[in-house]
Amino acid sequence: MPLALLTGFPGFIGRRLARKLLDADPEATLVALVEPRMLDAGTEAADEIDRERIEVLCGDITDRRLGLSDADYERLAAEVRRVFHLAAIYDLSVPIELAQRVNVDGTGNVLELCLTAKGLERLAYVSTAYVAGWRTGVVYEHELVMGQQFKNHYESTKFQAEVWVREAMDRVPTTIVRPAIVVGDSQTGETQKFDGPYYLLRGIAEANRARRSIPQFGRLQANFNVVPVDYVVEAIAAVAVDPEAEGQTVHLVDPEPLTSREMVSLLSQRYAGREPQGRIPPRLVSASLRIGPVRERFGGTPPQSIAYLNHPVRFDTRRAVDLLGAAGLAPPRFSDYADAMVEYFKAHEHDQSLKPVLA
């Protein structure tokens, strides 16, 4: 039976991808590499999906041999056909040492396994559209090293990792996917944490409860690019088996994103039934969010996130359109699933398990 290795399980995308891969191929089996602190959650998730076809291995991508025994490592090298590398630190305030160890060294260690795996058919590496850093204008899928600076250590280390992956492409059959900001399911709204753009909803909800005006702090010209998790999962699964996708990099983004201002306005209408009023300058917002009480008033929004509301960049999608269009996939427009996102938030906004831990 074809064997796949998945890192980043049982995370938000990883859990859904595992189910998708097994559903797509009744003969497939999956090894989920799970870090020790997530072992119980990983085992529980595997039981829910298909314990007979998912083997949970306790390991650590920051270890040169992935924290595995010699027997397990050599077995994977001999049998694995596809590797899905999702594991990373997705935190805009992550310290450089931790980001380097997980995002860069961890990716290098996964690449070492791929180089050893003689029967490997594909590495599907999940990067991010924000390896573009502070670049403005149009960013193309084939581009990477363009002299850009970065907003945070998350972006810079994901950039370093993608450089490493690209350098190995002549020896490892690879497809790189670069999602934008991932939100909940486009049909159900289900998500794992109310972070990222959900901070907008949290701020709108706080203002609505207090009967205050809802502020507008999105830049008119800046796109705020979000993409639903179900599209991301379908796309990763599709490119991993597409011969035409080998050696390609694809943006998993909204090709026609709303501006930040339009996004705030739409979420305010859908949640509170009213438009935002007034606009707070981005620098003032960022500075204010460093003050605890003000930050709470805006739903706990971290100051690092404001840059993404006010950064004028657009991601080209011509390769994604060609490759994924052939598989019948296209990203839905945000306006088509905004109701699902807002309704799920309304139903669960007081659920403590969905609230992000604030630094």
Residues 6+ apart with CB under 8 A from 182: 12, 13, 196, 226, 227, 228, 229, 232
What are the start-end ranges of the H helices in the chain?
12-24, 39-50, 70-79, 96-99, 106-116, 153-167, 198-209, 229-239, 260-272, 282-288, 292-297, 306-309, 318-325, 334-348
Write down the pLDDT at residue 148. 98
pTM for this prediction: 0.94
Write down the pLDDT at residue 358. 42
Q: What is the amino acid identity at position 342? A: V
User: Which tokens in the block code for residue 288?
Assistant: 């204010």
Note down pLDDT in tens along the chain; length 359 residues: 579 999 999 999 999 999 999 999 999 999 999 999 999 999 999 999 999 999 999 999 999 999 999 999 999 999 999 999 999 998 888 999 999 999 999 999 999 999 999 999 999 999 999 999 999 999 999 999 999 999 999 999 999 999 999 999 999 999 999 999 999 999 999 999 998 889 889 989 998 999 988 888 767 778 999 999 999 999 999 999 999 999 999 999 999 999 988 999 999 999 999 999 877 766 666 666 676 665 666 666 777 788 888 899 999 999 999 999 999 999 889 999 999 999 999 999 999 888 765 43
What angle (nearest 5°) sits at the alpha carbon of residue 194, between those of residues 192 and 199? 160
| Domains of the chain, first to last | 3-182+226-252 (3.40.50.720), 186-225+257-312+334-354 (no CATH)
C-alpha neighbours within 13 Å on the C-beta side of residue 40: 1
